[in-house]
């Protein structure tokens, strides 16, 4: 099932090129907290799925091209991100000279946080902040959404905690300084176009990931090249943080990262998920 948020956070189910508004199939949760309906949906998805499927079957759809898609996540308590998780990306980073010293920890797998306030949606624009002579780069990544509260989860059961998968661009200022700042400027986390539930993805480590800038291929890899796989990633992170339903976890950049400039158009595609376009402009 492909879940989308659109036209001001209506809930949609996408089938082919059609989107059906299934918002009215959600229960009237009495917490008065409609801003959190998405987190509640993630938490209760297994229970809600039959009624969403029924609404998607019986509802009249409209072409996806006629709606305004939003990021298919809402108010995550955190965005977790894997660092240094593709061998060839570690090599291209080690060759750069814009660090004042290439600290060993920068090349090791770890997880860090991106600010949820940096999220934008498909067709949205990344406005470049003034960062002097620093470069701002694209990183196209497979990301997933947590569906169950996860704490100290063993790797063998970790995939049970994944609701579905999506595309995430981890826009990054290169050079010195803390990752959480360099990757959390407003607009630095495009996510979309949909969350595709885990059952439709099958093996998340066999997906073609591609990114084009102005039509030119920049990143082109299979997610199977990840060094630390998703179950180990969840297990590791869940020893640090409680992973909450709706949290977003991005799996690290493949090689081929590069500078983006005002006027650029970025297109990212991940097999079985879809394709997302984002624009780059000066702030």
How far apart are CB 257 and Mn ion at their closest, in Å?
Answer: 8
Stretch that binds Mn ion, among 8-16, 23-31, 56-64, 168-176 (CB under 5 A): 168-176
Copy the structure tokens of residue 279: 């624009």
Using the minimum distance from each CB to Mn ion, give the nearer residue, 70 or 253.
Answer: 253
Work out which of 118, 253, 268, 278 binds Mn ion, going by CB under 5 A. Answer: 253
CA 73 vs CA 2, 46, 102, 145, 280: distances in Å? 12, 17, 35, 8, 22
Query: Judged by CB under 5 A, does residue 86 bind Mn ion?
Result: no
Interaction of residue 247 with Mn ion, rule CB under 5 A: no
For 104, the token pair is 């060993």
CB of 54 to Mn ion, least distance (A): 38
CA–CA distance from 268 to each of 75, 133, 178 (Å)?
Answer: 23, 26, 26
Span from 22-30, 124-132, 232-240, 249-257 in contact with Mn ion (CB under 5 A): 249-257
Position 226 contacts Mn ion (CB under 5 A): no
C-alpha–C-alpha distance, residues 72 and 193, integer Å? 7
Least Å distance, CB 170 to Mn ion, is 3
188 contacts Mn ion (rule: CB under 5 A)? no
* 139 forms part of the interface with Mn ion (CB under 5 A): yes
Q: Is 170 in the site for Mn ion (CB under 5 A)?
A: yes
Alpha helices in 7-157 (DSSP H): 37-43, 45-58, 87-94
Alpha carbons 161 and 198: distance in angstroms, whole number: 10
Are the C-beta atoms of residues 114 and 184 closer than 8 Å to each other? yes
Least separation, in Å, of the C-beta of 56 and Mn ion?
33
**In sequence order, what are the beta bridge partners of 79?**
114, 248
| Interface ranges with Mn ion (CB under 5 A) | 139, 170, 253
């Amino acid at each position: 099932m492909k879940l989308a948020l659109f036209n001001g956070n209506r809930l949609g189910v996408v089938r082919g090129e059609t989107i059906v508004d299934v918002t009215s199939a959600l229960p009237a949760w009495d917490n008065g907290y409609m801003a959190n309906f998405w987190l509640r949906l993630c938490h209760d998805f297994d229970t809600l799925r039959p009624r969403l499927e029924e609404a998607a079957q019986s509802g009249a759809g409209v072409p996806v091209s006629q709606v305004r898609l939003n990021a298919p996540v809402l108010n995550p308590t955190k965005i977790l991100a894997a660092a240094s998780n593709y061998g060839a990306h570690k090599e291209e980073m080690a060759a750069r000279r814009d660090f004042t010293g290439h600290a060993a920890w920068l090349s090791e797998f770890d997880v860090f946080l991106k600010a949820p306030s940096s999220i934008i949606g498909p067709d949205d624009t990344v406005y470049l902040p003034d960062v002097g002579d620093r470069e701002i780069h694209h990183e196209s990544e497979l990301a997933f959404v947590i569906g169950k509260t996860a704490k100290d989860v063993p790797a063998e059961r970790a995939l049970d905690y994944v609701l579905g998968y999506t595309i995430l661009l981890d826009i990054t200022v290169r050079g010195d300084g803390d990752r959480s700042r360099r990757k959390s400027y407003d607009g630095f986390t495009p996510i979309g176009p949909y969350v595709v539930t885990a059952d439709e993805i099958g093996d998340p480590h066999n997906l073609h990931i591609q990114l084009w800038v102005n039509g030119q291929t920049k990143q082109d890899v299979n997610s199977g090249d990840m060094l630390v796989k998703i179950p180990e990633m969840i297990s590791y992170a869940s020893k640090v943080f409680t992973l909450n339903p709706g949290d977003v976890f991005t799996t690290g950049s493949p090689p081929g990262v590069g500078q983006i400039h005002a006027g650029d158009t970025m297109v990212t595609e991940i097999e079985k998920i879809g394709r997302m376009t984002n624009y780059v402009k000066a702030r």
